Amino acid sequence: MRKLMKQRRFKQGLLSLILLTGVAIAQAASPWMRSEGDRYYWAGTSYSTGNQFWDGGNDLQDADCRNNDWKTFHKFEYGYSYYSTLVAGLSAGSVRCGDDDELTGVGDLTLGIRGRLDIYSNGKSWEITAIIPTGYDRNNPSRLGNGRFGIEGGVAWSSRERGRSMLSPWSWEGSTSIRLWQGPPADQFLSSFSVRRRITAVSGISVRISGDISLRNESPEKVKFENRTRLTDFDKIRAAISWSSRINTRWSYQTSIGHVLWGRNATNNLTVGLNISYDWRQ
Amino acid sequence: MKLSTRFIHRYAWMLISTGMFALFFISASSHAQVRHTQEQVDLSQMNIGQIHLNMRPVDAEVLFRKDQHDTSSFAVSVKDDDGQLLKGRVKVSGSFTRRFPKKSILIKLDSEQQWRGQRKISLDAMATDGSMQREWLVWQLAHALGMPGPRLQYIRVYINDDYKGLFMHTEWLDPQVMARYGLGSDGQFFHPSDSQFCGDFLPHKKNTLADCWFKLSPRDQDFSPLQTLVDQLAQTPVAKFNEYLEAHFDVDSVINWLALNVLVSNGDTYNKNYFLYQSAVTEKWVVIPWDYDLSFGRNWDAYLPFPKDVLNDNFQYFYPPELGAPNPLKEKTLRNPVLKKRFTERLLHLLGEKKNGLETTFGWFSPENMRARINNTSIKFQSDRLDDPYLKDSQINFMQETESLWHYVQRRYAYLRIIFKGAVPWDPELAIWDPADAPPRPPLSVNVSASLEMPSNNQYALIAAPAYGYLLAAIKLKDDYGLAEFSVESKIKHTPTVLPPGYDASSCIQRNWFLTLRTPFKSRLIDLQLDYLQEDSRRQELGRGRIEQNLDLWALDGEHWQKLDVRINPLSNVISIDNVIIRPSQMLRFVACSADK
């Protein structure tokens, strides 16, 4: 009996772990192309909490309950050829406000292709991604994704070329994209910029500013919690500081802490995160 | 390419301190009168091949210009000798050399297609070897000695009919190549990992063999033959090692491998950069040498950051035979009296000192023969190199690189003669087999002098000094007046105090040379080479920020300074002056200073 309970707990734990791998699609586009045949796996998990939110008039309000959100995201990249990298991602997570109303599940699946802006170098790319909702109820006002098909197109670039020793310890990375949805509540403009200072040969610290801006071109949808980020009808500017390091030639990790600076229809959360990645380079 | 021998630079002083390099003078040529026939040296059989590749134009552009770390492949067609197109994929090969504009490339043909009997075509850009001859010379010698290994050919590479330069086609080393040498194709084929630095048979690495070695054939994960080998090498005492080697190895392949490495000062091996094949036919191990771009005087620098630690213009010719990573196969072979004798005889045979083998290899590495070989090889591909889109702007560097090979051979020959035929021969029992155990080097600050009586034979004689260890100068007597005696003094690592007008002491090489003609009555006509030291970024006499190429050489005859026409070779650290007339009992003082203060 005890053994059965243990097995059940293990299965529940495993399921939770799987679900805890993602929510927000908000993964900034990467400027990095994979070599033909190379594969890359990235998994991140984050915890966000806060008891305030930015209302529709950009005013900060106290919430009735404290947010406690776990989110995770899995990403897999494959170098199809020198000119194109295939990208797939899956988000999942758990959101909760106060003691009740917990929601756990899988978010959206993303499938995309990345190409080179400069065919001779790495670190400058374009990317087009299809956003596909998974089986969650698109009519649930508290769902884990927008519930509609979307398509995102953008560019990303970096001041460094991967693996190349740089004279300056400083480098920067930026990305910008448009996310179009098949229906309401709104299309989005996303952008991010980060500055990195190399500390050792394999590690560095970076500061990142990111912004998600709603184009407000559709009709808003009803949401369950007033104090939560409203599907795609929100604006949010966020700052984060992170430490990244290569463990060996294949494994890397990144830890980060960030906070929302300004918003509209968005939670005012503190977020901590941990990412790991594995690189199957030839 | 990365050197495993972090501390090879420590070797030189040991020779000095043990007195092994008690070198008074050496004639580089007087003992090497072995001249090979014209056919053997002039390389008239050296045919430069051609290979035509077709690619999408954009792929062809990208292949040579893309991010150095990218490993993508591109579609390619290779035109075979019958004009048929063989389809396959091409990608940039190598690791360290990927940073150079001229990339080495590897073509893998689709199944069932072969070019010159192989599916893989390896085209080496020779980017780290400005002379483009190191691999070629080593493999010419290896083949002359009968060592198994790949065929090499200089080859012109065309992509979409555009000339991409001269490459070296190196036959892909696989069991079929070994079968050509009667060793069968079903043996065990291993190669140490280039990035792990542990293919050295040391017993404590016995359990990490799969990390240290690639098994090339058969394609399995059975490393038990290597495990057995590690055990045997550890357990066999030095005294019995000749018997062990006879029973389990192709002894000649080991002796020749060591001889090659010692001749060309290859320290970038013994834990990588070789192949090992256990023949199922002979049931013996065979060593196949590999990768000789860091040889012939090129020297790794422990004090410079990557990639300057490898890409520098340091020069050495004075490291002893134990140079390289610790390895029991090397150590026990050289410490076993029977095998050491065989090794020494092989070296002396190749140097042209004592015949003990084939006529065709006697004196193969003597300065005379090597000079002819180096010159003739460079002449052979000179025009190809001039048209090379990646190298055509580096002709001066090419000439210096080629000359530095010759300077190296001159000096290495002299060094090896001394340590194998000198009064205090090299003793392996005094050698330090692990470079990490070498004690710190003493500082360079000495006054040295040496005298040399030499004939008028129009050949260079090298002059060094006891208890110093490096060369001071080389003199070629060009007149017909018979014997002459010269003395050379030097202040080593010493900023000149007497200077030509307008120069600052800080702009000068930190060495003074004093040359005196001791023979009375007649003035003599000589060519002169003056050496200075740049073993690494710390042990050198360049001073601060000298641009060697801009050095001027000045001579003071006691009263007047005279600026001389010289050739500076910043790679071999040799200043060459032709047609110097020196009067009896006259002492000429030389200083080399840079005009760019």
| Secondary structure, 3-state, B364-391 | CCCHHHHHHHHHHHHHHHHHHHHHCCCC
Measure B102 CA to nearest chain A CA, in Å: 15
| Residue of chain B whose Cα is closest to the Cα of A120 | B66
Query: Which pLDDT value is given to residue A165?
Result: 52
Residues near B426 by beta carbon (within 8 Å), at least 6 away in sequence: B20, B320, B321, B419, B420
B59 contacts in chain A (CB < 8 Å): 82
Closest Cα to residue B227, out of B238, B241, B213, B243? B213
In a domain, B302, yes or no: yes
Cβ-defined contact of B66 to A282 (cutoff 8 Å): no
Secondary structure letter of residue B302 according to DSSP: T
Give burial (CB, 10 Å; 0-12/13-18/19+) of A3: exposed
Same domain, yes or no: B212 and B351: yes
**Stretch A60-72: mean pLDDT:** 89
Closest Cα to residue A261, out of A253, A273, A269? A269
Neighbours of B594 (CB within 10 A): 21
| Residue of chain B whose Cα is closest to the Cα of A161 | B67
Which DSSP string do the residues of A44-108 spell out, in sequence order? Answer: EEEEEEEEEEE-TTS-EEEEEEEEEEEEEEEEEEEEEETTEEEEEEEEEEEEEETTEEEEEEEEE
Contact B436, B8 (CB under 8 A): no
pTM of the model: 0.84
Measure B65 CA to nearest chain A CA, in Å: 6
Q: Does residue B439 have a cis peptide bond before it, meaning omega lies within 30 degrees of 0? A: no
Contact B329, B234 (CB under 8 A): no
Contact B402, B571 (CB under 8 A): no
| Residue of chain A whose Cα is closest to the Cα of B95 | A282
Query: Which pLDDT value is given to residue B468?
Result: 67
| Residue of chain A whose Cα is closest to the Cα of B93 | A282
Same domain, yes or no: B179 and B291: yes
In a domain, B374, yes or no: no
In a domain, B202, yes or no: yes
**Stretch A255-276: mean pLDDT:** 95
Q: Phi/psi zone of residue B201: left (φ > 0), alpha (ψ -120 to 50 degrees), beta?
A: left
**Stretch A194-220: mean pLDDT:** 91
Measure A119 CA to nearest chain B CA, in Å: 7
| pLDDT confidence bin for A18, thresholds 50/70/90 | very low
Which DSSP string do the residues of A206-238 spell out, in sequence order? Answer: EEEEEEEEE---S-----S-TTS--TTS-EEEE
Query: For the segment B153-209, what is each residue's pLDDT rounded down to a tens digit?
Result: 999 999 999 999 999 999 999 999 999 999 999 999 999 998 889 999 999 998 899
Partners of residue A43 on adjacent β-strands: A74, A276
Which DSSP string do the residues of B149-182 spell out, in sequence order? Answer: ---EEEEEEEETTEEEEEEEEE----HHHHHHTT
Query: Which pLDDT value is given to residue A224?
Result: 62
Cβ-defined contact of A35 to B69 (cutoff 8 Å): yes
Same domain, yes or no: B449 and B415: no
Q: Which secondary structure element, helix H or strand E, spans residue B264, and what is its range?
A: helix B251-264
In a domain, B460, yes or no: yes
In a domain, B60, yes or no: no
Same domain, yes or no: B455 and B533: yes
List the structure tokens of A192: 């991010």
A33 contacts in chain B (CB < 8 Å): 70
Which of A126-140, A156-170, A240-254, B304-318 has the highest average model confidence (pLDDT)?
A: A240-254
Measure B554 CA to nearest chain A CA, in Å: 39
Whether A25 has a pLDDT exceeding 80, the answer reads: no
Cβ-defined contact of A121 to B71 (cutoff 8 Å): no
B66 contacts in chain A (CB < 8 Å): 82, 119-122
Q: Which of B61, B71, B306 has the CB atom closest to A35's CB atom?
A: B71
Strands (E), A82-200: 84-97, 100-116, 124-133, 150-158, 170-181, 188-200
Q: Using CA atoms, how far apart are residues A20 and A50, in angstroms rounded to an integer?
A: 19
**Stretch A237-261: mean pLDDT:** 95
Same domain, yes or no: B401 and B463: no
Residues near B535 by beta carbon (within 8 Å), at least 6 away in sequence: B9, B12, B299, B314, B315, B316
| Residue of chain A whose Cα is closest to the Cα of B58 | A119
Give burial (CB, 10 Å; 0-12/13-18/19+) of A249: exposed
Pick out chain B residues at pLDDT < 50: 1-33, 38-39
Residues near B337 by beta carbon (within 8 Å), at least 6 away in sequence: none
Query: Which pLDDT value is given to residue A183?
Result: 85
| Residue of chain B whose Cα is closest to the Cα of A36 | B72
Partners of residue A244 on adjacent β-strands: A204, A254
Residues near B442 by beta carbon (within 8 Å), at least 6 away in sequence: B13, B16, B17
- Hunting for tokens 């007497």 — which residue is that? B498
Cβ-defined contact of A82 to B62 (cutoff 8 Å): yes
In a domain, B491, yes or no: yes
Closest Cα to residue A78, out of A42, A43, A24, A107? A42
Give burial (CB, 10 Å; 0-12/13-18/19+) of B252: middle
Q: List the single best residue of B69, B70, B304, B306 to mutate versus A (max A Cβ within 10 A).
A: B70
Secondary structure letter of residue B235 according to DSSP: H
Sheet holding B285-289, edge to edge: B213-217, B188-192, B274-278, B285-289
| pLDDT confidence bin for A15, thresholds 50/70/90 | very low
**Stretch A51-58: mean pLDDT:** 90
CA B205 to chain CA mean position, Å:
29
User: Which is higher by pLDDT, B383 or A271?
Assistant: A271
Query: Which pLDDT value is given to residue B45?
Result: 65
Residues, chain B, total?
Answer: 597
Query: Which pLDDT value is given to residue B338?
Result: 98
Query: Which pLDDT value is given to residue B271?
Result: 95
Same domain, yes or no: B240 and B281: yes
Domains of chain A: 2-280 (2.40.160.40)
Q: Using CA atoms, how far apart are residues B146 and B181, in angstroms rounded to an integer?
A: 9
Q: List the single best residue of A82, A116, A160 to mutate versus B (max B Cβ within 10 A).
A: A82
Q: Which of B58, B69, B72 has the CB atom closest to A36's CB atom?
A: B72
Query: Which pLDDT value is given to residue B81?
Result: 80
In a domain, B325, yes or no: yes
Cα end-to-end distance, chain A, whole Å? 48
pLDDT averaged over every residue in chain A: 85
Query: Which pLDDT value is given to residue A71?
Result: 92
Closest Cα to residue B324, out of B1, B3, B2? B3
Sign of CA dihedral B164, B168, B171, B172: negative
Query: For the segment A142-171, what is each residue's pLDDT rounded down to a tens digit?
Result: 778 888 999 999 999 998 765 555 568 899
Q: Do strands B85-92 and B213-217 pair parallel, antiparallel, or not at all (unpaired)?
A: unpaired
CA B253 to chain CA mean position, Å:
19
Q: Which of B58, B66, B72 has the CB atom closest to A81's CB atom?
A: B72
**B434 three-class SS:** coil
- Rounded to 10°, the helix B328-335/B337-351 angle is 90
List the structure tokens of A146: 């927008």
Q: List the single best residue of A32, A34, A35 to mutate versus B (max B Cβ within 10 A).
A: A35
| Residue of chain A whose Cα is closest to the Cα of B195 | A249
Q: For residue B580, give its domain range.
A: 443-594
- The pair phi, psi for residue A7, each rounded to 5°, is -60, -45
B560 vs A: CB within 8 A:
no
Cα end-to-end distance, chain B, whole Å? 36
Same domain, yes or no: B516 and B568: yes
Query: For the segment B350-386, what is each residue's pLDDT rounded down to a tens digit?
Result: 999 999 988 889 999 999 899 999 998 998 888 888 8
- Rounded to 10°, the helix B241-248/B337-351 angle is 70
B72 contacts in chain A (CB < 8 Å): 35-37, 79, 81-82
Same domain, yes or no: B416 and B456: no
Same domain, yes or no: B478 and B332: no
Interface of B with A in 46-65 (CB under 8 A): 58-59, 61-62, 65
CATH of the domain at B515: 2.60.220
Query: Which pLDDT value is given to residue B4?
Result: 38
List the structure tokens of B71: 């490993």
Neighbours of B283 (CB within 10 A): 10
Same domain, yes or no: B487 and B410: no
Same domain, yes or no: B264 and B335: yes
| pLDDT confidence bin for A14, thresholds 50/70/90 | very low
Same domain, yes or no: B579 and B508: yes
| Residue of chain B whose Cα is closest to the Cα of A280 | B71
* Total count of domains within chain B: 2
CA B337 to chain CA mean position, Å:
27
The mean-pLDDT minimum among A106-120, A128-142, B40-54 falls in: B40-54
Helix ranges restricted to H, B506-585 = none
List the structure tokens of B316: 């050495």
Q: Which of A82, A161, A163 has the CB atom closest to B72's CB atom?
A: A82
Q: Do strands B152-159 and B49-54 pair parallel, antiparallel, or not at all (unpaired)?
A: parallel
Query: Which pLDDT value is given to residue A147?
Result: 87
Q: Which of B61, B70, B73 has the CB atom closest to A122's CB atom?
A: B70
In a domain, B72, yes or no: no
Cβ-defined contact of B67 to A36 (cutoff 8 Å): no
Residues near B536 by beta carbon (within 8 Å), at least 6 away in sequence: B9, B299, B301, B302, B303, B304, B312, B314
